[in-house]
Amino acid sequence: MRGVAAFALAVLALGACGGSADGMDVRITLVVEDKNIRVEDSECAGARPFQYVHARAGYALDDGAGQELADGELPAGHAVNADPTIDWGVERIPTFCVFELELEDVPRRAAYALRLERGSPLPFDASFVEGGKPVELTLG
Amino acid sequence: MPAGVSFAEPAGQGVQAHDFTAELMDGEPVQASELWTGRPLVLVFTASWCETCAGVHRTVAEVVDRHEGMALLGLVPADDAEGARDYAEELDLGDPLATASDKVWLDYAAREPPVVVLVAPGGRILRGWPGGVEAAVLERELDRLTAP
């Protein structure tokens, strides 16, 4: 009985997200903390040493154990203020480069990992995806 | 460089640019110091996947073209050679485009394209513009190097 209730709860929680019965939509906000000097909101790519994070670079989402579930190409990033508590007083400021990914109908798993063309995989738990909020992953 | 063209001695200081060899789209090597011998050289660090870079590159090329004898070299990351061919075809500038190693990008503090660098005749770095440069600003800098 307890198992049935747990299953029902799980279905309810996952139901809050988009996707089919077997899949869910996953939104990821990838923050590259490169502190590069840019105009806020301008298009960006990861600055060195994160130069492999850029528009059209490939990525894959796996189940954390290496089984690939989805793949795609990164969009262009956009620059966000690296420290909003500071009034920099100039147009070009220290920024992070942020990439927004939307993966549709990803097979449901307990855990996921985002793999970029270089660097270590960025793991996250499936519970982070519940409610349709973007999962924030950080490089840097 | 066209005969009879000369350039003014740049004012102020500037660090000596690192010399480097890059590979042109046709596989031939190009030596930076050969390009800055006796004339200014503008470098554009760019990439095929960079959506703002082509516009910056085109703007820079138009300004450089208005200054007889000045040289322009576009540089893409070494792993962008394939994309760079389409990029070069699409831009169709008539100026050389080459792949440059990570070391070249690091030597010029080019952390993210586009970056524009102005090198004086002889190889002193006069200015660098991360994110690109407005045409009027570059025009003014190149005018200063044009002999009266």
Query: What are chain B's domains?
Result: 23-133 (3.40.30.10)
- pLDDT per position as a tens digit, A112-133: 999 999 999 999 999 888 777 8
- pLDDT per position as a tens digit, A59-108: 999 999 999 999 999 999 999 999 999 999 999 999 999 999 999 999 99
Please tell me the pTM assigned to this model.
0.85
pLDDT of amino acid B146:
87
Other C-beta atoms lying within 10 Å of the C-beta of residue B61? 18
Instruction: Give the number of domains in chain A.
Output: 1
**Taking a C-beta distance cutoff of 8 angstroms, is the pair B142, B10 a contact?**
no
Do strands A92-107 and A77-81 pair parallel, antiparallel, or not at all (unpaired)?
A: antiparallel
Contact B112 A48 (CB under 8 A): yes
Contact A55 B52 (CB under 8 A): no
Contact A48 B77 (CB under 8 A): no
Q: Percent of chain B having pLDDT more than 90?
A: 86
One DSSP character per residue, A19-47 reads S-SSEEEEEEEEEEEEEEEEETT-EE-PP
Residues of B in contact with A76 (CB under 8 A): 51
Q: Which residues form the domain of A37? A: 2-139
Could you tell me the strand order of the sheet in which A58-62 lies?
A68-73, A58-62, A111-116, A122-125
| Cα A13 to the center of its chain, rounded Å | 20
Confidence of residue B148 (pLDDT cuts 50, 70, 90): low
Instruction: Identify the closest residue of chain B to A45 by CA–CA distance.
Output: B112
Write the residue in B49, B51, B131 that is nearest to A39 by C-beta. Answer: B131
DSSP assigned state of B79? G
Q: Which of A39, A40, A52, A56 to mutate to probe the B interface, most B CBs <10 Å?
A: A56
Nearest to B129 by CA among B140, B114, B142, B146: B114
